[in-house]
Amino acid sequence: MIDIQNNFDPDLRKIIKTKKQVAIIPVGSLEQHGPHLPVSTDSDIVTEIAKRVAKKCNLLLLPTITYGISFEHAPFFNLSVTRTTLQNQLVDICISLGENKIRKIIILNGHHGNQKALSGIADKISKTSRDRNKVFVISYWQYMKREFDHAGFVETSLMLAVSNKVKMDLARKGLVVEKMPPKQKSKISKLASIHFIKATKTGVWGDPTKATKKDGKMILSEIVHNIAKKVSKLPY
């Protein structure tokens, strides 16, 4: 793995010259995660996953984009950029990578609200670079068996595994959808994607009270294993 932030120009140019590099860009967000997790949660988790995948697959690790699209969390705290801003930033970074002869790029997404902005980005970058840059978008929660939540058991466990910022004494049960009839569950999921606080009241989707570092470590290694497998099979 080459962590681009901690490297120097002569070394980087040499590295790029000797071997074709694949870059990974983690994309997170800054938004409320209840009283027990910091607003940096999505960015913290996606950064750690990207680091581990980069180590396993020998990738070039780029700094995390910590500003995402979290308007759905208003009126609770969120710092958001518009869809166009996130897209433009990623297009610019990928074009710049291409100019440095780094043409294969993985965008690793850590926040659900970013998904729409990222859905057409690979085609956009391919067109802008006249087909020379190849971009693959991966949303990490699609690489684990458990259903994802927001500040619930899964995300709180993951945070316990990657950070020391969790305040477990403040963790409270939020909206639990497991036993809901499918129709009601899909209705509330839809509402949550537009008005998260209206849907959950507390800003917590799931129950974080039983989250553990041990579970977080297990889920994390499952995600990293599955993403590394996917990355190794990407058509380069």
> Contact residues for Zn ion (CB under 5 A)?
41-42
Shortest distance, CB of residue 33 to Zn ion, whole angstroms?
Answer: 6
Q: How large is the C-alpha radius of gyration of the chain?
A: 18
Tell me the closest approach of the beta carbon of residue 165 to Zn ion, in angstroms: 13
Beta carbon nearer to Zn ion, 33 or 134: 33
- The nearer residue to Zn ion, 98 or 152, going by C-beta atoms, is 152
Pairwise CA distance, residues 104 & 235, whole Å:
10
Instruction: Considering the complex, state which of residue 87 and residue 156 has its C-beta at the smaller distance from Zn ion.
Output: 156
Q: CB of 150: closest distance to Zn ion in angstroms?
A: 5
Minimum separation from the CB atom of position 155 to Zn ion (A): 5
> Which of residues 42 and 48 has its CB atom nearest to Zn ion in the complex?
42
Rounded to whole angstroms, the Cα distance separating 116 from 69 reads: 10
Chain CA centroid to CA 169, Å = 26
Interior CA angle at 202 toward 198 and 204, to 5°? 100
Tokens of 209: 């009270």
Closest approach of Cβ 210 to Zn ion, in Å? 18
Torsion of CA 41, 42, 46, 47, to 10 degrees: -50
Residue 110 beta carbon to Zn ion: minimum distance, rounded to whole angstroms? 7
Ranked by CB distance to Zn ion, the top (closest) residue is: 42
CB of 111 to Zn ion, least distance (A): 6
Choice between 102 and 205, CB closer to Zn ion: 205
Residue (41 or 64) nearer to Zn ion, CB: 41
CA distances (Å), 235 to each of 7, 57, 98, 187, 204, in order? 28, 14, 17, 37, 38
- Measured between alpha carbons, how far is residue 11 from residues 6, 96, 99 in Å? 11, 18, 17
The angle that helices 121-128 and 83-99 make with each other, rounded to 10 degrees, is: 40
By beta-carbon proximity to Zn ion, the closer residue of 103 and 112 is 112
d(CA 83, CA 148): 23
3-class DSSP assignment, residue 224: helix
DSSP 150: B
